[in-house]
Amino acid sequence: MSVDLSVDDNRPWWHGAVIYQLYARSWRDASGDGIGDLRGIVDRLDHLAWLGVDAIWLSPTMPSPDKDWGYDVAGYTGVHPELGTLADLDELIAAAGRRGMRVLLDLVPNHTSTEHPWFVEAASSRDNPYRDYYVWVDPDADGNPPNNWKDFTGEAAWKLHETGQYYLHNFLEEQADLNWWHPAVHQEFRDILQFWFDRGVAGFRIDVAHGLYKDAELRDDPVKTDGGPLESVFGLDPVYSANRPETHDVYRDWRKIADGYSPSRVLLGETWVPTPERMAAFQGDNDELQLTFNFPFAYASFDGRELADIVQRTMAALPPGGCPIWMSSNHDIGRFASHWCDGDERKTRLAMLVLATLPGTTVLYYGDEIGMGDVEVPLALRRDIATLDGGGEGNRDRARTPMPWDATPGGGFSAPDVTPWLPMGDGPGPNVADQRADEDSVLWLCRRLLALRKAEFGGTVADYEQLPSADGVWAYRVGPLVVATNFSDAPADLPAVSGEALLATDGAVPAAPRQVLGPWEGVIMRLAVDDDRV
Ligand code: GLC
């Protein structure tokens, strides 16, 4: 099967699909410099085709000084020389297409690198035509910034520039926030979308999707000291420094551009908001983003009741025609095999079964397929400036380490004598080759789950219904299937359903109808046609 983006087929291919987030610097180093690259990805695409993913989302690929590893973009229509060339990216899109897979890029519209030519121009004088591309403010009478907004490191989000004004940076000071009140910024990004869509890019993951517009009056963010990382930023609720209603107009505009292509290009937002309802608002009346990351789900405890509640609320909040999306690993929040599963393989298998059987779109992060956990990166080897001070969960390098392809020195990521940009991690963690050779492995379970997902849900957002079940058990009907999962250390009764068992977390087809689920076990069944829930 190959993907022909010129075919006039507007079915949303992402419905029922699996997108694989591929951190390009850490997947496969073909050039031998210790950094993953586009040619390395082309070389290993067969792994993804074998696994059964429908699309790849590449972490930032555009030129960047790498203060924030590509999230500080210095040019929106190029390729970072460390990763390859535009021709390599064209080849990757074509090679993925030949294997039936599409390619999404990461787009960063909230800010640019201060090395981007727009900022260099803007900073050159107060009357430069690019000045208004960014947010500039005069110091107050005491020389202070205009408000209390904080950046990603907890410091003031304003940098006093030699031209006598402050500029806004909600992330690092080398990442200047764009001024979305300025019409020229809108036109620049329309052109950027079209540039990539015309090249065959299937869509974008949109960085900081909730952030673009800032309050016109630059009011102080209210103090909020309770709540988790989705609710407050260093003790402030970002209601004015982000989350402004005008941002929705941008997505309505972009959606028209995306829908102008056949098939429609997909816009997947990094909607960093604390509730499913606020997340769903970014899908509008199904006229804004088609997909919106569900961080309340990703951050939930690994508890069936809590997850079930978020799934139910998500399904209720989406607009007609909307599509949910599920994941719990990425390059910021870490890997689910660690934060959900604590390295317990039974839990990792259960998490995978849940992710693969929820309706809509599932996103796996590279390494999830082998149950890879976070890697402890010694302080001296850490590369993420923004979280250098943070231990444990605050340290983002832990989930950006090279993909372990095999057990050889270098892990099959780079040549054995090359030092990778981040360490592989000590000790015998999981690797692809060993698991590929073992049909009982997590990798094979993942592959079977994705095949089942494609066969049962491909092209659809299956309807979802929570079923009554015993304590500790989360059971749901999804399309023609029933999924029963035991989120406890004790055996649990299965809900009474008549039907055929298809797959369990041990990777096998259960031999006989099951009445009991083992601790942290999950099973997928097909409802018998005479069951009135079908
Ligand atoms: C997003 C990215 C993160 C980056 C930040 C600023 O949250 O996922 O890695 O640091 O935006 O661009």
Q: What is the pLDDT along the chain (534 residues), one digit of tens a residue?
A: 566 554 445 679 999 999 999 999 999 999 999 999 999 999 999 999 999 999 999 999 999 999 999 999 999 999 999 999 999 999 999 999 999 999 999 999 999 999 999 999 999 999 999 999 999 999 999 999 999 999 999 999 999 999 999 999 999 999 999 999 999 999 999 999 999 999 999 999 999 999 999 999 999 999 999 888 899 989 999 999 999 999 999 999 999 999 999 999 999 999 999 999 999 999 999 999 999 999 999 999 999 999 999 999 999 999 999 999 999 999 999 999 999 999 999 999 999 999 999 999 999 999 999 999 999 999 999 999 988 876 566 799 999 999 999 999 999 999 999 999 999 987 778 999 999 999 999 999 999 999 999 999 999 999 999 999 988 999 999 999 999 999 999 999 887 776 889 999 999 888 776 789 999 999 999 987 666 655
Ligand 1 atom closest to the Cα of residue 171 is 6
Residue 477, beta-bridge partner list: 465, 482
Question: What local confidence, expressed as pLDDT, does residue 98 receive?
Answer: 98
Round to whole Å and give the CA distance between 491 and 519. 5
CA angle 148, 151, 152 (to 5 degrees): 145
Identify which of 171, 205, 293 to mutate to test ligand 1's pocket (most ligand atoms within 8 A of the CB).
Answer: 171
Identify which of 66, 295, 332 to mutate to test ligand 1's pocket (most ligand atoms within 8 A of the CB).
Answer: 332
Give which of 262, 309, 255, 310 is closest to 282, Cα–Cα: 255
How many angstroms is it from 69 CA to the middle of ligand 1? 9
The gap from C-alpha 9 to its chain's centroid, in whole angstroms, comes to 26
Which protein residue's CA is at the shortest distance from atom 9 of ligand 1? Answer: 332
Ligand 1 atom closest to the Cα of residue 332 is 9
Quick check: helix, strand or coil at residue 359? coil
Question: What local confidence, expressed as pLDDT, does residue 227 receive?
Answer: 86
Residue 320 neighbours by CB distance under 10 Å? 6
Give which of 467, 472, 468, 510 is closest to 491, Cα–Cα: 472
DSSP 8-state symbol, 370: G
How many angstroms is it from 229 CA to the middle of ligand 1? 14
How many angstroms is it from 64 CA to the middle of ligand 1? 14
The gap from C-alpha 268 to its chain's centroid, in whole angstroms, comes to 9
Which protein residue's CA is at the shortest distance from atom 2 of ligand 1? Answer: 207
Residue 358, beta-bridge partner list: none
Angle between the N-to-C axes of helices 345-357 and 442-457, in degrees from 0 to 180, rounded to the nearest 10: 10
- First-to-last alpha carbon distance for the chain, in angstroms, is 31
How many angstroms is it from 71 CA to the middle of ligand 1? 6
Q: Name the strand (E) or helix (H) holding 279.
A: helix 276-280
* Residues whose CB is less than 8 angstroms from the CB of residue 251 and which lie 6 or more positions away in sequence, other chains included: 209, 267, 269, 282, 284, 288, 289
pTM over 0.95: yes
Which protein residue's CA is at the shortest distance from atom 4 of ligand 1? Answer: 71
Identify which of 64, 116, 205, 207 to mutate to test ligand 1's pocket (most ligand atoms within 8 A of the CB).
Answer: 207
CA angle 137, 143, 145 (to 5 degrees): 45
How many angstroms is it from 518 CA to the middle of ligand 1? 39
| Ligand 1 binding site (Cβ under 6 Å of any ligand atom) | 68, 71, 108, 171, 207-208, 270, 331-332
Question: What local confidence, expressed as pLDDT, does residue 427 receive?
Answer: 74
How many angstroms is it from 245 CA to the middle of ligand 1? 21
Ligand 1 atom closest to the Cα of residue 68 is 10
* Residues whose CB is less than 8 angstroms from the CB of residue 451 and which lie 6 or more positions away in sequence, other chains included: 52
Which protein residue's CA is at the shortest distance from atom 7 of ligand 1? Answer: 208
The gap from C-alpha 131 to its chain's centroid, in whole angstroms, comes to 32
Q: Which residues are catalytic?
A: 207, 270
How many angstroms is it from 109 CA to the middle of ligand 1? 11
Identify which of 23, 58, 61, 71 to mutate to test ligand 1's pocket (most ligand atoms within 8 A of the CB).
Answer: 71
Ligand 1 atom closest to the Cα of residue 272 is 7
Question: What local confidence, expressed as pLDDT, does residue 270 receive?
Answer: 98
Round to whole Å and give the CA distance between 443 and 434. 10
Identify whether the C-beta of residue 427 lies closer than 8 Å to the C-beta of residue 29: no
Cis, peptide link before residue 263, omega less than 30° from 0: yes
Can you spell out the DSSP letters for 305-354? HHHHHHHHHHHHHSPTT---EE---BTTTB-HHHHTTTT-HHHHHHHHHH
* Residues whose CB is less than 8 angstroms from the CB of residue 249 and which lie 6 or more positions away in sequence, other chains included: none
Q: Which residue has the tokens 């139910």?
A: 312
Residue 361, beta-bridge partner list: 325
Ligand 1 atom closest to the Cα of residue 396 is 9
Ligand 1 atom closest to the Cα of residue 110 is 12
